[in-house]
Structure 1
Amino acid sequence: MSTLVLVHGFWHGSWCWSEVIPHLVAAGRPAVAVDMAGHGLYARRPRWLTEQPYNREAVDTEVSPVADVNLDIAAELLTSQIKRIGGGEPVTVVAHSAAGPVLTRIAEQTPQLVAHAVYLTAYMPASDVPAAAYTRIPEAADGLVTPLLRGNPAQTGALRFDLATDDADYRRRLYEAFYDDVDPVLAEAATGLLTPDGPMGIMLGTTTLTRDGWGSVRRTYIMCTRDKAIRPGVQEKFVAEADAAFPDNPTSVVTLEASHSPFLSMPGELADVIVSLG
């Protein structure tokens, strides 16, 4: 069995897998969670987040300290992490949400490093299509993330949440977008660990997919049917496009009745699914 490399999505960090890893290890699967570029130990927080008094104008206009992080940089970092963890042997990569485009780039460029590409309610963009394009399709119209974003990403270089606000309604909507089926106490703790800026460059990057690259890698999509961040219709579109492009290597699909964050709401069940994939 290959080693598992777990990659979080935007605004989160490797910490979000802490409830899942014990289940995986208990089942005999070595698992390592890593931080994506611009997140976790690689995050850089904007000044407005801690400045007093609170400055709403700065929230909307300050250029992000991670504005220079793009898909190339994110893929380079994750590739180095995979090589270190796997010792050159292929690993199974489980990518959540906006880590999907990074996994896709790596599986295309170095398919020999990826034994199994697992997309957990993640962006799985088609060839030469940026992940950001899927936030504007009809299937995404009722998603809850876009209305929460602050500022103009073209100006700030980031998809930004206002984590300094005391607006109770805003924080409630943030909870609904990510943690709708998570215990409120745990969700509050997770919210306190979020970073405000997701690097827009990761969402704007594209990868040309080939039969010998990404198209040759075994892949599974774990759909979350209660997801209010990446809506089920968007998830279905990813799978349909992938299977149309590479019909000889169809996507395996597993369904969880979960929100966007099953690693917190049902870590045991999620671990069981991951282990079952082999």
Structure 2
Amino acid sequence: MSTPLLFLPGFWHGSWCWSEVQAHLTHTGRTTLAVDMAGHGLRARWPKSINKRPFVPRDLAEEVSPMAGIGLDQAGDLLVAQIERLGRGRPVTVVAHSMGGAVLTRAAEQAPKLVAHAVYLTAYMPASGVPALDYTRMPESEGNLVPAALLGDPGATGVLRLDVLSGDRAYRDLLREAFCADVDPVTAEAALGLLTPDSPVGIGVETTTLTRGGWGSVPRTYIRCARDMAVRPALQERFIAEADAAFPGDPTATATLDSSHSPFLSMPGEVARIVAGIG
């Protein structure tokens, strides 16, 4: 019997980003649920300065976020609760995108019997004790466009912040190239309009200690995205290699999409096809 599918978005995104993938899965009969990560989607709280008129860029760069205190503990606990709600005590296949992978890793370590299969869609899959954001400073992350779009000092604001309401064409083009370069322009612009400005830095700087009986016992699949400008292909390969070196008895299954960072928008049918064959 196929397990239910739970979809978790990454930083700045919400459950909305999975809607097309879920539509493609309706004919399979699989139960699907897309959820918001802690501090995202309907759980997000926006900085006041982003809507202030006249707009003062310095205020947005310096305002402490109302979500500054959210960390990996809270995000992991929320995901476990969401898995329990969907599975009603039975295992669930979880598909995580981007920084959602760090949260999936925490939840799978915390409650491995509830995760039938962990699927990482061009997602952070950090090694034991390594903060996910440390990978953005590694050589394999060269070419990552996201850091150039960030505002302010995360140590002061408590978040990684984007100016999602910016009217500057060059800045919006940067966001589009970073997240959804292969998505049709109309859909891409709509998607950028749904991003939230703040993602809690605590989720990316806190760590999970991985054990053989925890995360190491959960079957995993990594779906590469070959044209990703946010999680670079070389970094995706590093995640896979580190996981397989740490837990060689449970090698990572892989698949590859010729897509940007947002295949759920550019090729949702292909994402659905791969996911439907898992769990």
TM range (shorter): over 0.9
SS where residue 133 of structure 1 aligns? helix
- Counterpart AA for 1:56: P
Aligned position for 1:124:
125
Q: CA deviation at 1:170?
A: 0.4
* Number of residue-to-residue matches in the alignment: 278
1:92 aligned partner: 93
Letter of the 2:249 counterpart: D
What is the RMSD computed on CA atoms of the aligned residues?
0.7
The separation in 2 between residues aligned to 1:258 and 1:40, in whole angstroms, is 24
SS of the counterpart of 1:18?
A: helix
Structure-to-structure mapping, 1:1-278, within 5 angstroms:
1-278=2-279
Secondary structure of 1:16's counterpart equals: helix
Q: Cα deviation per residue 1:107-138 (whole Å; 9 max; x = unaligned)?
A: 11110000000000000000000001000001
Question: In 2, distance between residues paired with 1:272 and 1:144?
Answer: 29
> What's the offset of the Cα at 1:205?
1.0
Q: Which runs of 5+ in 1 are unaligned?
A: none
Return the letter of the residue paired with 2:54. P
- What CA distance in whole angstroms lies between the structure 1 residues aligned with 2:165 and 2:269? 32
Instruction: State the alpha-carbon separation in 2 of the partners of residues 41 and 56 from structure 1.
Output: 25
Aligned equivalents of 2:211, 2:255: Cα separation in 1: 24
1:33, 1:194 → 2: CA distance?
16
Structure 2 residue runs without a partner (length 5+): none
Q: Tell me the alpha carbon deviations over residues 23-71 of structure 1, each in whole angstroms, 9 at most, x when there is no partner.
A: 1121221110001100011000001111101111012100011111100
How high is the TM-score relative to the length of structure 1?
A: 0.99
8 Å Cα contact 1:48-1:55 kept in structure 2? yes
The 1-side partners of 2:197 and 2:116 are apart by 33
Determine if contact 2:165/2:193 at 8 Å carries over to the other structure. Answer: no
Letter in 1 for 2:268: P
CA contact (8 A) 2:3 2:116 kept: yes
Q: Secondary structure at the match of 2:99?
A: helix
Following superposition, the deviation at residue 164 of structure 1 comes to 2.7
In 2, Cα distance between equivalents of 1:25 and 1:209: 34
Q: CA deviation at 1:18?
A: 0.7
Give the letter aligned to residue 5 of structure 2. L
| Structure 2 CA distance for aligned equivalents of residues 6 and 61 of structure 1 | 33
SS in 2 for 1:20: helix
Q: CA deviation at 1:16?
A: 0.4
Find the aligned partners of 2:164 and 2:213 in 1 and give their Cα distance.
43
Deviations 1:114-170 (A, max 9, x none): 000000000000000000100000111211001110000000111111123221100
1:54–1:164 CA contact under 8 A, matched in 2: no
Secondary structure of 1:89 counterpart: coil
Q: How far 1:198 moved relative to its partner? A: 0.7
Moved over 2 A (4+): none
For residues 197-247 of structure 1, what are the alpha-carbon distances to aligned partners after superposition, in whole Å with 9 as ceiling and x for unaligned?
Answer: 011000011011011110000000000000000000000000000000000
Partners of 1:49 and 1:207 in 2: CA distance: 33
Q: Deviations over 1:172-213 (max 9, x none)?
A: 010000010001100111111110001100001101101111
Partners of 1:33 and 1:57 lie apart in 2 by 35
CA distance in 2 between partners of 1:141 and 1:84 (Å): 39
Q: Within 1, Cα distance between the matches of 2:159 and 2:136?
A: 15
